[in-house]
């Protein structure tokens, strides 16, 4: 199998696997989310535990992300009280906070609503930061490879 076909197979497998994963997740209980985020905030402010050696700028970013998250879910108790856009923002904020705390940015899952080509229907697509980067790099490499090819001539190697 050519490297390009292999990349395509991996990207397509990931594209179908992650949306299914995101739909199978346990619904959020916003009361539990608030308790968890307030505990994290208390530990950050006290510079305790895993936050003791965390740079102040990173702690500030986490607190700012928590502020927007807590404002978004204020007065709400379940996901059903949010619009689809608000739910995606909530999930993305929680993933961002978790990745920032655990230093696992590449493993952070980002969800977005994507309109299907030729349709007004949107579909929720979730991918890790690493998968999105690999897709961008694969697309860029494919374009660069095509630019090296001329009609009727074999493609030149970049190496």
pLDDT (tens digit, 9 = 90+) per residue, 42-98? Answer: 999 999 888 989 999 999 999 999 999 999 999 999 999 999 999 999 999 999 999
| C-alpha to C-alpha distance for 59 and 70, rounded to whole angstroms | 16
Residue matched to tokens 């490499």:
141
Q: Give the residue among 135, 77, 82 at the shortest CA–CA distance from 110.
A: 135
Least reliable range by pLDDT among 28-32, 37-41, 120-124 = 120-124
Q: How far is CA 20 from CA 13, 24, 102, 126, 146, in A?
A: 11, 6, 24, 9, 33
pLDDT (tens digit, 9 = 90+) per residue, 2-27? Answer: 444 444 444 444 444 444 444 567 89
| C-alpha to C-alpha distance for 79 and 124, rounded to whole angstroms | 15
Q: Which pLDDT value is given to residue 119?
A: 86
| C-alpha to C-alpha distance for 32 and 102, rounded to whole angstroms | 20
Helix (H) or strand (E) holding 21: helix 3-24
Token pair for residue 19?
């949306």
Q: Which pLDDT value is given to residue 20?
A: 46
Beta bridge partners of 30: none
Mean pLDDT of 110-124: 86
Rg, Å, the chain Cα set: 20
- What's the residue count for the chain? 159
Q: Are 52 and 43 in contact (CB under 8 A)?
A: no
- The full set of domain ranges for the chain reads 3-139
| C-alpha to C-alpha distance for 57 and 65, rounded to whole angstroms | 12
Q: Is the confidence at residue 141, as pLDDT, over 50?
A: yes
Instruction: Look up the pTM and report it.
Output: 0.64
More confident residue, 35 or 104: 35
| C-alpha to C-alpha distance for 77 and 30, rounded to whole angstroms | 5
């Amino acid at each position: 199998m050519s490297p390009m076909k292999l990349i395509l197979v991996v990207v397509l497998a990931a594209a179908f696997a992650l949306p299914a994963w995101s739909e199978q997740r346990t619904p959020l209980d916003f009361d539990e989310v608030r308790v968890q985020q307030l505990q994290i905030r208390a530990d950050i402010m006290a510079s305790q535990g895993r936050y003791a050696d965390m740079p102040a700028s990173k702690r500030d970013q986490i607190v700012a992300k928590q502020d927007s998250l807590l404002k978004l879910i204020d007065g709400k108790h379940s996901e059903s009280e949010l619009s689809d856009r608000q739910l995606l923002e909530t999930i993305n904020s929680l993933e961002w906070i978790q990745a920032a705390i655990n230093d696992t940015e590449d493993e952070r899952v980002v969800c977005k609503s994507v309109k299907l080509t030729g349709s007004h229907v949107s579909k929720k697509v979730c991918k890790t930061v690493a998968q999105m980067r690999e897709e961008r790099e694969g697309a860029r490499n494919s374009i660069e490879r095509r630019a090296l090819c001329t009609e009727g001539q074999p493609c030149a190697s970049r190496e």
